[in-house]
Amino acid sequence: MAVSEMSVADKGAGPYGIAAGPDSALWLTFAHSGRIARLTLDGELNEYPLESPECRPTVITPGPDGALWFTRSQDHRIGRITADGETESFPVPTPDSGPFGITAGPDDAMWFTEMNTDRIGRITSTGDITEFVLPCTGAYPSAITAGPDGALWFTLNQANAIGRITVHGDIVIHRLPTPSAAPVGITSDGAALWFVEIAAGQIGRISVDGAIKEFPLPDPTAKPHAIVAASTGDCWFTEWGANSIGHITGSGKITEYSLPSPSSEPHGITLGPDGALWAALETGGVARLEP
């Protein structure tokens, strides 16, 4: 399995989130320089500066409107960028909300987490925002994904739990078996939800009825961060602490692939338009792994 790397920015830019766009290109957030970048498969890079260099764009994902949507965790806004680079942003009503995770919902809206204010937000394509208060405080909701059951599923990093919210705002919380596991990334494989436990060095699986199974990584200090499903029972994740890309099967078999550059800080991961896995490296590059 070949792993290659490509430089896309200097170390100060901080590539963080990555997503495959509807235009067969990859879209990245540069968290430290306040930019969105578009990378074609043959390596052509365009950068789009946001109106605030300190806005800290984090997670990015395609929306139902053909644009890319992203969170701005430092200036508490939701951003939108079209395939030709036009940007706009919308302030989250609750002050200092710290939006982080974002995903397209089953209702033609985008759903996002508010790390600092224990809320889940919903934003329409025209920028109308609704917020739902979680039944816990200091929970630090992090990543969010659309589940196979028509609901949204999210990680509660500090509450040690996985949450589920319906499009009508009904919320259920599922506690994790491992204490202080600090879940972050979450994805749906079409049948169940898979998530990473950054503090416990484990990958977790939760079925839509709430049954949880955990799979320890070979290195408990691997710090798994983001996860994406390629198909049912076929997930890939970044290991920030182990400088690797990991793979887990439905039965829990784990394989790891080291990245060429040492301490490259892999964060976001996505399935590219070319069928390969692409990861954002905070030290200034992207990694490509062809299964």
Determine contact, residues 170/155, Cβ cutoff 8 Å. no
pTM, 2 dp = 0.98
Catalytic: 267?
Answer: yes
The tens digit of pLDDT for each residue in 163-217 reads: 999 999 999 999 999 999 999 999 999 999 999 999 999 999 999 999 999 999 9
Closest residue by Cα to residue 217 from 191, 187, 237: 237
Dist CA 88 CA 64 (whole Å):
16
Per-residue pLDDT, 149? 98
- Enumerate the known binding-site residues for Mg(2+): 265, 282
- Enumerate the known binding-site residues: 225, 265, 282
Rounded to the nearest 5°, which phi and psi values hold at 96? 55, 40
- Enumerate the known binding-site residues for substrate: 225
CATH 2.130.10.10 fits 2-290, yes or no: yes
Determine contact, residues 132/118, Cβ cutoff 8 Å. no
Sorting pLDDT into bands at 50, 70 and 90, what band is 1? confident
Determine contact, residues 115/76, Cβ cutoff 8 Å. no
The domain ranges of the chain are 2-290
Q: In what order do the strands lie in the sheet with 183-188?
A: 183-188, 193-197, 202-206, 212-216
The tens digit of pLDDT for each residue in 251-271 reads: 999 999 999 999 999 999 999
